[in-house]
Amino acid sequence: MEKKIFSGVQPTGNLHLGNYLGAIKNFVELNNEKENDCIFCVVDLHAITLKQDPKVLKNNTRETVATFVASGIDPKKSIIFNQSRVTAHSEAAWILSCVARTGWLSRMTQFKEKAGKDKEKASVGLYSYPVLMAADILLYDATHVPVGDDQKQHLELCRDIAQKFNNDFKIEDFFKVPEPLIQNEFSRIMSLKDGTKKMSKSELSDFSRINLTDAPDQIINKIKKAKTDPLPMPTSKEELKNRPEAKNLIGIYSSLTGLEIEKSINEFSGKNFSEFKENLAQVLVDKIEPISKEIKKLLSEKNFLDEILLDGYEKADKIASIKMKKIHEIIGF
């Protein structure tokens, strides 16, 4: 069965291992499955919920595309474009915001986390961006959306909006109600300095993350200094429950090698962390170094990256415009 897949990544710049294992690696696998019809969007409209430097944002958009391609996404097979270029996204977001209920949005936990204690100063865009996310997905009749734990709630909102629109205008299945593609439990990569916090570019210490542009010696040094506990390597999966740093590092190893978590544990059961870290660092270098070299090469070819974005825009805009015209007819515009 053919799957229509939509997913997006914010152009934050300097993407890291968390972005790769949490999203991009999965995108590559979806891209490589013949029956899948994939659209991967650089969601620059979502990025401006926080203040951005215009020049930096443009460069970050190109860097995100470079990372997609360097990681193995084929722009000839999948559509790659930046969201702001297809104006239907903004228009559909407004229309769907008139369908969505404020009570639904008020339950979104990610807004509470991102806005912090002073919610009064958060932008309206940060509050309502799950509606834009719904528009992104529904414009392309996506049947499946890859989601991690932090996005499950937003996809549920998207499903609710689709169903309410269909019911309100009595048009069954106009908007496809997308199904989640749930990622494995170790797709959420945590900080190398604190196994209870998500790996993030915003964390001050560069030793908290592996950047996709890090050189081999940087990767080795960061893994060597990654926080662990004083106990030896675990002997069972149950032992990971109260050992967040051990769980994170073993999860990274399993995700990169493709081994089940139990097999990774058995491989290093009872050994010292130093031996495990040497193996983990080598696996990371083998995976990240080729991607890093290709990203740097592609970033020197701005015209090539811009051509990918232009080609992707033309394909995406054609699909979105047809859907938008039908929405106009349904509403009475």
Which positions are catalytic? 114, 198, 201
Between helices 54-71 and 302-331, what is the axis angle to 10°?
Answer: 100
- Please give the structure tokens belonging to residue 325: 């015209």
- β partners of residue 180: 145
Q: How long, in residues, is the chain? A: 333
The structure tokens 């169903």 sit at 163
Gap between the Cα atoms of 177 and 310, Å rounded: 29
> CB atoms < 10 A from the CB of 178, how many?
23
Q: What is the largest CA-CA distance in the chain?
A: 68
CA atoms within 13 A on the CB side of 309: 23
Helices (H), the chain: 17-19, 25-32, 44-47, 54-71, 88-97, 102-106, 109-115, 124-138, 152-168, 216-225, 244-257, 261-268, 273-299, 302-331
3-state secondary structure 222-287: HHHHCCCCCCCCCCCHHHHCCCHHHHHHHHHHHHHHCCCHHHHHHHHCCCCHHHHHHHHHHHHHHH
User: What SS3 state is found at 42?
Assistant: strand
Cα 170 to Cα 104, 143, 166, distances in angstroms: 21, 20, 6
Q: Which amino acid is at 292?
A: S
> CB atoms < 10 A from the CB of 1, how many?
4
